């Protein structure tokens, strides 16, 4: 297995350093599709011993050439270029009428107007172009400096108007050439002065030396990539990911010891392009390959396994910027999954094939969305397997008005799967059809009122459940002091064993008497019918609350309430509840702290001798000991003693007498602009009349620090004890992330510790090293 790792690493190194192979095919094919490239000129080495007649045509290549100047005498043959039929120009505009082109030419800045001319294309358009260049790189530099947008085009020299003057640069070249002819002895010295100026510009995009690619790689590229470039255009081009992961896991307890080592290779390649225009059809083609070699040792047995998984992802976007965009997709995902339990280690290999479409219809103030997805998956493991087929349909409609909004959505799922458990000779087969329908309607009736409504339907053929629910809520705020809410809901549920129908009406009104007193009223009407659920209920109550700031740092609050309840149906009874609550709040400048103490009590009685007594007292104190250190303390005591009459006879009784205390110290600090530290240490205490005493001390810390711009360190620690289960827990997680240009390194270490009186100590170490590159 180690040899395979070594061979794989060597092959991958070669692949990473030769990613430029794909770029070679991309550049070559993209250049041919744009139509800007001419035949690659052959470079010849110059020899200073050659005669000036042979050297000058290569040294003094004309940069800017205006064709057939009648005012100038016939030029020397030495200034002829290799490109006699066409040159490169900057096209500033294109017009159907010549007079429009002339107007555009007159409006150009003076520095552009001198070198611009009108050119008639083969299709009969009149184009305003600037300059005649035989050097593509020079033209690109000029294009970037022009104050007007332009494109680079080819210009037929025979169609250019006569009478143009040579630019100053060409005149300077002519003068130097004449001096060279008069004094042949100074050719070499003149060449050394001129060569540096022109030689750098002579290296154009078409003449750059391409990397030497082996013949078999060229054939592979031509077969697979060049046709795609010829038929389509590049949008994002090729991109992908190469990833290697080495993982080692050790598990140990008093009964067994398991070690698992795995080496995972992941390769992903994608291509994004479009046909004719991105608005017409854009696409993404992707593929990935996963190979995982693992070795597992449990006791005296050893198992080697190899997984080879291939996935793909294809997506087509049609008319994506139009009112009717459509997306088609097909993908396959495969992944190996490992699960480690206290008594075993489980492996599952999952493969999923899915395809479908989704899109929308965009109308004025409304939108229709739809989707369809069909998938087939298979999961295979040591002690579990599953075969699943599923289909999903969805359709939604949304419309907005000035003060109204409507949304309707329907979703249907069809699942058919079977799960097998070979270890226990059991299986589970499920076939279900799930329907979801939802409708929301919102209406802003006025500035002071709003109406919201909802309708939902759910059905499941496997469990034979059908549920229909509707809600209407109306909020009314006639003044700053009065706020009212009215709600109505209805529910109908059906299944094999029961049928239920619920209706309820809720009303809640809040009135602010003054800045200290508030009055609340509520009303509930409820009725139910169906299988053993015939019941009617009326509950109404009133509550008054008081809140007063006696000073800037001290306030008191309290309230009392009274409610009555009438029930009929399976149980006929009348009852009532009296409640009272109050508390204080104090803020201290010392330690920037605050203290709150509150309590409440309620008593319920009914005609059936139902009784319920409830008390609740809570206290809270928070203080900042230092700028970054905070102390939190709270106590909560809850008591309830109740009994309720049963329709079958007798009473059901409940009794709670619980106390909970919590104390914690929290520390947070920013470590400059590079790091962050947060930690907490505390203890919780639980005590109850009908449950055992429970002590829960805990501590945790999280640290992240960016050592350099490319190096990040992470640390997380958690320790706690639960006396109820008599168990100690500890978790340590640390890691380093490092990046070198496009290469990423990740190292992670995890340690889990558990100590229980019944089964002893458990240790689990997980070490993972990952290196990947995105290109």
Q: Is residue 128 part of a domain?
A: yes
Q: Is residue 146 part of a domain?
A: yes
Q: Are residues 63 and 124 in the same domain?
A: yes
Least confident of 34-43, 224-233, 568-577: 34-43
Q: Is residue 244 part of a domain?
A: no
Domain count along the chain? 2
Q: Is residue 138 part of a domain?
A: yes
Provide the pLDDT confidence category of residue 673 given band limits of 50, 70 and 90. Answer: confident
Q: Are residues 69 and 198 in the same domain?
A: yes
Q: Are residues 20 and 92 in the same domain?
A: no
- 3-class DSSP state for residue 589? coil
* Phi–psi pair at 314, nearest 5 degrees: -125, 130
Q: Are residues 222 and 166 in the same domain?
A: no
Q: Are residues 191 and 58 in the same domain?
A: yes
- List Cβ neighbours of 528 (8 Å cut-off, separation of 6 or more): 500, 501, 502, 503, 534, 535, 536, 569
Q: Is residue 197 part of a domain?
A: yes
Q: How many CA atoms lie within 13 A of 113 on its CB side?
A: 10
Distance (Å, whole) CA 485 – CA 760: 58
Q: Give 348: exposed, middle or buried? Use CB within 10 Å, 0-12, 13-18, 19+.
A: middle
Q: Looking at residue 174, what is its pLDDT?
A: 41
Distance (Å, whole) CA 481 – CA 205: 76
- DSSP result, 705-718: EESSSSEEEEEEEE
Checking 618-621 for CB contacts under 8 A at 24+ apart, the result is 619/595, 620/595, 620/596, 621/593, 621/594, 621/595, 621/596
Distance (Å, whole) CA 538 – CA 367: 43
Look up the CATH number of the domain holding residue 72: 3.30.70.1070
Q: Looking at residue 222, what is its pLDDT?
A: 65
Considering the chain, what percentage of its residues have pLDDT values greater than 70? 78
Distance (Å, whole) CA 641 – CA 653: 8
Q: Looking at residue 107, what is its pLDDT?
A: 84
- 3-class DSSP state for residue 305? strand
Q: Looking at residue 384, what is its pLDDT?
A: 75
Q: Are residues 156 and 174 in the same domain?
A: yes
Q: Are residues 71 and 194 in the same domain?
A: yes
Distance (Å, whole) CA 216 – CA 213: 8
- DSSP result, 146-178: -SS--EEEEEEGGGSPS-PPPPHHHHHHHHHHH
Structure tokens at 182: 């008069």
Helix (H) or strand (E) holding 409: strand 404-421
Q: Is residue 114 part of a domain?
A: yes
Cβ 373 vs Cβ 336: under 8 Å: no
* Phi–psi pair at 59, nearest 5 degrees: -75, -50
* Tens digits of residue pLDDT in 385-422: 889 999 999 999 999 998 999 999 999 999 998 988 87
Provide the pLDDT confidence category of residue 231 given band limits of 50, 70 and 90. Answer: low
Q: Greater confidence, 56 or 655?
A: 655
Q: Are residues 20 and 66 in the same domain?
A: no
Q: Greater confidence, 226 or 504?
A: 504
Q: Are residues 217 and 144 in the same domain?
A: no
Q: Is residue 214 part of a domain?
A: yes
Cα–Cα distances in angstroms (integers) from residue 68 to residues 83, 127, 157, 411, 615, in the given order: 15, 20, 9, 73, 106
- 3-class DSSP state for residue 556? strand
- pLDDT of residue 36 exceeding 50, the answer is no
Least confident of 173-177, 234-238, 639-643, 708-712: 173-177
Provide the pLDDT confidence category of residue 686 given band limits of 50, 70 and 90. Answer: very high
- The pTM assigned to this predicted structure is 0.62
Cβ 163 vs Cβ 70: under 8 Å: yes
Q: Measuring CA to CA, which residue among 685, 654, 680, 674 is closest to residue 714?
A: 674
Mean pLDDT of 341-353: 69
Q: Is residue 381 part of a domain?
A: no
Q: Looking at residue 144, what is its pLDDT?
A: 78
Cβ 616 vs Cβ 590: under 8 Å: no
Q: Are residues 215 and 196 in the same domain?
A: no
Provide the pLDDT confidence category of residue 232 given band limits of 50, 70 and 90. Answer: low
* Tens digits of residue pLDDT in 201-220: 332 333 333 456 677 766 77
- pLDDT of residue 54 exceeding 80, the answer is no
For residue 61, the enclosing domain spans 52-202
Checking 314-321 for CB contacts under 8 A at 24+ apart, the result is 314/283, 314/284, 314/285, 314/286, 315/283, 315/284, 316/281, 316/282, 316/283, 317/281, 317/282, 317/283, 318/280, 318/281, 319/279, 319/280, 319/281, 320/278, 320/279, 320/282, 321/279
* Tens digits of residue pLDDT in 125-157: 888 988 888 777 788 888 877 777 888 888 877
Q: Are residues 57 and 184 in the same domain?
A: yes
Provide the pLDDT confidence category of residue 307 given band limits of 50, 70 and 90. Answer: confident
Structure tokens at 684: 């919780």
Q: Are residues 194 and 92 in the same domain?
A: yes
């Amino acid at each position: 297995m180690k040899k395979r790792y070594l061979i794989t690493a060597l092959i991958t190194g070669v692949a990473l350093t030769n990613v430029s192979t794909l770029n070679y095919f991309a550049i070559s094919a993209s250049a041919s599709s744009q139509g800007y490239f001419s035949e690659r000129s052959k470079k010849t080495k110059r020899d200073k011993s050659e005669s000036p007649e042979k050297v000058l045509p290569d040294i003094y290549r004309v940069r800017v050439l205006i064709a057939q100047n009648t005012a100038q005498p016939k030029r020397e043959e030495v200034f002829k270029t290799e490109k006699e039929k066409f040159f490169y120009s900057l096209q500033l505009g294109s017009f159907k009428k010549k007079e429009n082109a002339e107007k555009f030419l007159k409006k150009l800045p003076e520095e552009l107007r001198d070198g611009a001319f009108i050119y008639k294309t083969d299709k009969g358009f009149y184009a305003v172009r600037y300059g005649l260049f035989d050097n593509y790189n020079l033209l690109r530099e000029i294009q970037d400096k022009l104050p007007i947008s332009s494109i680079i085009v080819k210009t037929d020299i025979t169609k250019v108007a006569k009478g143009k003057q040579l630019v100053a640069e060409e005149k300077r070249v002519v003068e130097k050439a004449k001096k060279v002819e008069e004094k042949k002895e100074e050719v070499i010295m003149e060449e050394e002065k001129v060569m540096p100026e022109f030689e750098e510009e002579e290296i154009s995009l078409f003449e750059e030396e391409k990397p030497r690619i082996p013949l078999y790689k060229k054939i592979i590229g031509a077969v697979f990539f060049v046709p795609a470039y010829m038929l389509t255009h590049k949008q994002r081009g090729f991109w992908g990911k190469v990833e290697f992961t080495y993982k080692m896991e050790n598990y140990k307890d008093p009964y067994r010891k398991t070690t698992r080592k795995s080496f995972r290779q992941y390769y992903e390649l994608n291509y994004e392009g479009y046909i004719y225009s991105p608005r017409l059809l854009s696409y993404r083609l992707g593929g990935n390959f996963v190979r995982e070699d693992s070795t597992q040792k449990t006791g005296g047995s050893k198992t080697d396994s190899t997984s080879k998984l291939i996935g793909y992802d294809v997506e087509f976007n049609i008319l994506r910027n139009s009112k009717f965009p459509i997306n088609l997709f097909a993908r396959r995902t495969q992944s190996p999954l490992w699960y480690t339990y206290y008594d075993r280690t489980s492996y599952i290999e999952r493969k999923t094939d899915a395809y479908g479409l989704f899109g929308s219809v965009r109308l004025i103030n409304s939108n229709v969305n739809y989707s369809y997805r069909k998938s087939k998956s298979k999961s295979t493991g040591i002690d579990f397997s599953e075969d699943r087929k599923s289909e999903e349909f969805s359709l939604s409609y949304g419309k907005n008005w000035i003060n109204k909004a409507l949304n309707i959505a329907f979703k249907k799922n069809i699942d058919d799967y079977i799960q097998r458990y070979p270890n226990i000779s059991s299986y589970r087969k499920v076939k279900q059809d799930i329907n979801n329908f939802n409708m929301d309607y919102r209406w802003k009736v006025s500035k002071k009122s709003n109406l919201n409504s909802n309708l939902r339907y759910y059905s499941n053929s496997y469990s034979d459940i059908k549920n229909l629910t509707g809600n209407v809520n109306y909020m009314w705020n006639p003044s700053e002091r009065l706020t009212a809410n009215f709600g109505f809901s209805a529910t109908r549920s059906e299944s094999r064993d029961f049928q239920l129908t619920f209706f309820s009406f809720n009303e809640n009104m809040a009135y602010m008497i003054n800045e200290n007193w508030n009055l609340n009223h509520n009303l509930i009407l409820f009725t139910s019918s169906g299988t053993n659920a015939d019941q009617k209920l009326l509950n109404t109550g009133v509550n008054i609350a008081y809140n007063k700031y006696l000073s800037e740092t001290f306030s008191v609050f309290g309230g009392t309430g009274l409610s009555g309840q009438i029930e009929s149906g399976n149980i006929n009874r009348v009852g009532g509840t009296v409640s009272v609550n109050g508390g204080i709040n104090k803020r201290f400048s010392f330690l920037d702290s605050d203290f709150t103490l509150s309590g409440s009590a309620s008593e319920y009685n009914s005609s059936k001798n139902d009784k319920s007594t409830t008390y609740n007292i809570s206290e809270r104190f928070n203080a900042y000991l230092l700028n970054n250190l905070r102390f939190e303390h709270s106590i909560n005591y809850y008591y309830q003693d109740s009994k309720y009459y049963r329709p079958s006879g007798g009473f059901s009784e409940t009794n709670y007498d619980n106390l909970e205390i919590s104390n914690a110290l929290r520390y947070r600090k920013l470590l400059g602009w590079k790091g962050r530290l947060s930690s907490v240490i505390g203890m919780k205490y639980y005590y109850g009349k009908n449950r055992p005493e429970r002590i829960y001390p805990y501590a945790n810390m999280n640290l992240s620090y960016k050592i350099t711009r490319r190096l990040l360190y992470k640390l997380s620690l958690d320790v706690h004890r639960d006396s109820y289960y008599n168990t100690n827990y500890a978790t340590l997680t640390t890691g380093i992330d490092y990046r070198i240009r496009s290469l990423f390194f990740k190292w992670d270490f995890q340690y889990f510790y558990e100590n229980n009186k019944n089964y002893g100590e458990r240790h689990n170490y997980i070490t993972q090293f990952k290196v990947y590159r995105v290109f």
